[in-house]
Amino acid sequence: MSICAFDPDFYDLVTDDSMFGDLDWYRQQVRAAGGPVLELGAGTGRITLPLARDGHTIHALDIDAHVLAALERKAAALAPDVRRRVTVVRDDMRSFALAARFAIVIVPFRAFLHNLTDADRLACLAAVRAHLGPRGRLALNVFHPALTIMARHAGPLEGVWRSRGTWTLPDGGFLVRSEANRYDTVAQRVHSLHRYERFDAGGDLTRTFVHRLELAYLYPPDLRRLLEQSGFVDITIAGGPDGRPFANDTDELFVTAAVAETA
Domain map (residue ranges) of the chain: 8-144+218-259, 147-216
* Helix 220-229, helix 118-130: angle, nearest 10: 50
Same fold for the domain at 8-144+218-259 and the one at 147-216? no
- Residue 198 φ then ψ, to 5°: -100, 130
For residue 242, count other CB atoms closer than 10 A to its CB: 10
- Angle in degrees, CA 232, 41, 136, rounded to 5: 30
Which strands sit side by side in the sheet containing 189-199, from one edge to the other? 162-168, 174-184, 189-199, 205-216
Report pLDDT for 84: 97
Determine the CATH number of domain 147-216: 2.20.25
Identify the bridge partners of residue 89 per DSSP, sorted by sequence position. 61
- Residues composing the chain: 263
The alpha carbon torsion through 152, 158, 161, 167 (nearest 10 deg) reads: 50
pLDDT, residue 95, reads 98
β-pair type (102-107, 58-62): unpaired
Pick from 74, 80, 75, 1: nearest CA to 41: 1
Q: How distant, in Å, are the alpha carbons of 81, 169, 220, 257 from that of 13?
A: 27, 9, 31, 32
Give the distance, in angstroms, between the CA of residue 186 and the centroid of all CA atoms in the same chain.
23
What pTM, to 2 d.p., does this model score? 0.95
Strand partners, 179: 162, 194
pLDDT tens, residue by residue, 54-109? 999 999 999 999 999 999 999 999 999 999 999 999 999 999 999 999 999 999 99
8-144+218-259 CATH, one of 1.10.3720.10, 3.20.20.70, 3.40.50.150, 3.30.465.10: 3.40.50.150
Nearest to 256 by CA among 14, 3, 22: 22
pLDDT under 50: residue ranges of the chain: 2-4, 263
